[in-house]
Chain A
């Protein structure tokens, strides 16, 4: 079987393309397949896809969003829309308002439920390690958030700590 595009070389790559719900089978030689796949990548780069999703979330109602800038790494929201990558961990706090709906679109959720990098501490002498309590962990994070001037995150942590402490007081 010869390549569908150049008609010269034997077809070694077999592609199924779905365009407008029409399924096409393509039989290509290695060279034409490579050209075609890079053309496809150029058309549908991941950052374009992401940028498209971002725009979908913010239909012009937040004109100012593009200028919002991460104070830690100087990435603006416009930069993110262009390159589809965040600049640093702090960006997630700074752009939280816009990112939460985007994450929800990508993953179907914007709430992490997996493991966390809980630091473990050694009880002196015993050789036993135990995890810090959730409360201690939250307090540590609050201190860090304030140090890093991540005030939105700090406020959230403060509320979480208060809730746990209130519950504890009630139980006691």
Chain B
């Protein structure tokens, strides 16, 4: 598989299927693992990083679940390709920087991705569409067991899986759920909800993970604590928190519908109208307007567009995706033009 092959493929997490997919975009489980005989990546020499990479490469071919996967060497890739992989949520922004001896393993379905030599030797990630943490955990657990048979993980009985940063020690597991919460934002209840989330030791992040701002009403919520609780318990905790947030968003949507229907319809249709006719549009504005259209589609106000198309538009209008589609480097102004053109084409074809 080449990076370009991904262009014509819809990532699993964008399919807009799975439980509660009106509010939950995707569920993700990430495991941090390290090999016991090498220093952690930030403290390792080039030769040692190479050693990690070689050891993992040897093992990959022996794991059935990774049979149909591709290894990308990030040091050999140009910046657009790297950003493209970040935009598809296959790797972190951090992984795209200082790329020497860093690699990314992606399976054909874009469900499994493994970052090699990021903050830890292995960051094993599993993405599912909709509210599906338990299934994601089941798959990633099987992969982890298969790898553990072949690799010697850094582990201690009392501290669990050992990671470069002590905030990940223990299970090394982070479960995240990407939520679309426009009604809670519009009804100004989101601060209250996020404050409660923080109090319960969960983190909220933006669309692109650590260090990114929430935009377009998207929020990524994940567990902060990884030590002292078992994996199932951690997931059950996130699950029950997310269930409550879904409940609150659903209620907020119902209230908006019954009390402010005209205003809501106006905002949604204006957003759709701008997207269908704009000639210049930034990625930030695109995300905000698409968020409204997605809400419209969830509420049955916008009928002639499905969730999958909206989800796809979120990704293909991102800077690196646009440049891959156009197959050339574009300035920010050029992108705004091309983005508007692409959106018009997609929406007016419907």
Contacts and interface: CB of A to CB of B under 8 A. Distances in A.
Interface of A: 12-13, 15-16, 30, 33, 37, 41, 46, 50, 72-73, 75, 83-89, 92-93, 99, 102-103, 106-120, 141, 153, 156-157, 160
Contacts of A160: 157
Interface in B201-245: 201, 211, 213, 215, 225-231, 234
B162 A114 contact: no
Q: Which 10 A-B pairs have the closest CB atoms?
A: A109-B228, A112-B160, A89-B154, A107-B227, A117-B148, A114-B171, A87-B43, A88-B39, A89-B162, A73-B39
Interface size grouping (class) on chain B: 35 or more
Contacts of B228: 107-113
Q: Which of A112, A156, A160 has most B Cβ within 10 Å?
A: A112
Interface of B: 34, 36, 38-40, 42-43, 119, 141, 144-145, 148-149, 153-167, 169-171, 173, 191, 201, 211, 213, 215, 225-231, 234, 282, 284-285, 288
A88 B40 contact: yes
A158 to B, nearest CB: 13
Nearest to B171: A114
Contacts of B43: 73, 75, 85-88
A117 B153 contact: yes
A88 B171 contact: no
A160 B229 CA distance: 21
B170 A112 contact: yes
Contacts of B145: 120
Contacts of B226: 107
Given A103-B159, A119-B149, A114 B40 contact: no
A16 B42 contact: no
11 contacts: A37-B211, A85-B164, A88-B38, A108-B201, A109-B229, A112-B161, A114-B173, A116-B160, A117-B161, A141-B157, A156-B157
Contact of A92 (B159, B213, B231, B285): B159
A85 B162 contact: no
A46 B157 contact: no
A86 B166 contact: yes
Contacts of A93: 156
Contacts of B144: 115, 117
B229 to A, nearest CB: 7
Contact of A85 (B165, B225, B282, B284): B165
B40 A112 contact: no
Given A30-B284, A115-B171, A119-B149, A99 B40 contact: no
A90 to B, nearest CB: 8
